Copies of this chain bind each other. A is one copy, B any other.
């Protein structure tokens, strides 16, 4: 709880002006660092403002300026693993630029999303970032929004929008190239829900890399859920049906954790007998695994930062372009693919 400082509302610029014995206009100039004000006067004003712990009313200011210095972050699902880094990156970028972020969680509900969108427009946000929960294209907010919109993670289904999404194809390719570089040739793939674009894109990248090396996947890719349990079960199948497999590319770190479990149960040494590579580079899972998990990092925080930057640019009138941009991912090598020295 808190107490009001001076009995009533917050101090206003008139209060400051009165206390400093100057006019409202002069007080404004003095506090805003305009140079057509006498040094002595400025000092008096600043002091008065300080005494009253005056805080300029951003609303009043925004009303005049036409910009609010706020942006909306419209997320599809806060709980998701991928929101946080993106959100964090965006908040970081905006925070440095004196911009404040309205957080709205639509909870995967289109109605709620519409409601939040309306609220954001009512607040006259200068821009909006829409963060989806999957990398599958999502419905566009439409072209009628009066402020710049950038889609992050889940691209918009309208090519006239600007979308930033991780390059899952390259991720799959990177993973396989790394496995091949460490001498693996019998590579299987265990991944999550086949209805996810992420699963399909990573697989496509993986296949391209294999093909480029004159190889192909051992067995069919195994699809099911993005869970540890699925990783365990699938690995048991793979290692039984194809005992000569020397590497498994997993669609997520969770799956990879399950795979590691089963590998140990079946007496396969990782990485000597079997290399395992995950996806997402979720520190909690990758760093806690035994051995630690090599993984693909989608640079999500970076993605959030870039989305923010684009919104910034758009607000400044810079053309930010359109279309879906695939942002680079990176390989993080740990002990599950190369033996410790």
Contacts and interface: CB of A to CB of B under 8 A. Distances in A.
A63 interface: yes
A250 to B, nearest CB: 14
Contact of A55 (B66, B83, B92, B118): B118
Contact of A84 (B78, B118, B229): B78
Nearest to A98: B119
A5 interface: yes
Given A3-B143, A149-B2, A59 B116 contact: no
Interface string A34-64: 0000000000000000000101111110110
A272 interface: no
Interface residues of A, number: 75
Given A62-B59, A63-B60, A102-B101, A144 B53 contact: yes
Interface stretch (A120-128, A186-194, A198-206, A235-243): A120-128
B162 A1 contact: yes
A145 interface: yes
Given A1-B160, A59-B63, A146-B2, A101 B103 contact: yes
A227 B288 contact: yes
Contacts of A92: 105, 107
Interface string A241-263: 00000000000001001100100
A10 interface: yes
A16 interface: no
Contacts of A83: 84
Contact of A95 (B5, B104, B145, B320): B104
A68 interface: yes
Query: How many monomers of this chain does the complex have?
Result: 2
Contacts of A103: 73, 87, 91, 101-103
A88 interface: yes
Contacts of A100: 102, 104, 119-120, 123
Contacts of A1: 148-150, 160-162, 314, 320-322
Contact of A288 (B55, B120, B254, B320): B254
A87 B91 contact: no
Interface string A163-206: 00000000000000000000000000000000000000000000
Q: Is the interface of A mostly helix, strand, loop or mixed?
A: mixed
B290 A232 contact: yes
A87 B100 CA distance: 16
A53 to B, nearest CB: 7
Interface centre among A2, A5, A70, A289, by most B CB within 10 Å? Answer: A2
Nearest to A160: B1
Interface string A73-96: 100001100011101100110010
A66 B146 contact: no
Given A55-B122, A95-B116, A228-B288, 12 more contacts: A1-B160, A3-B144, A55-B121, A57-B122, A59-B123, A60-B63, A83-B84, A100-B120, A227-B287, A227-B288, A229-B288, A257-B288
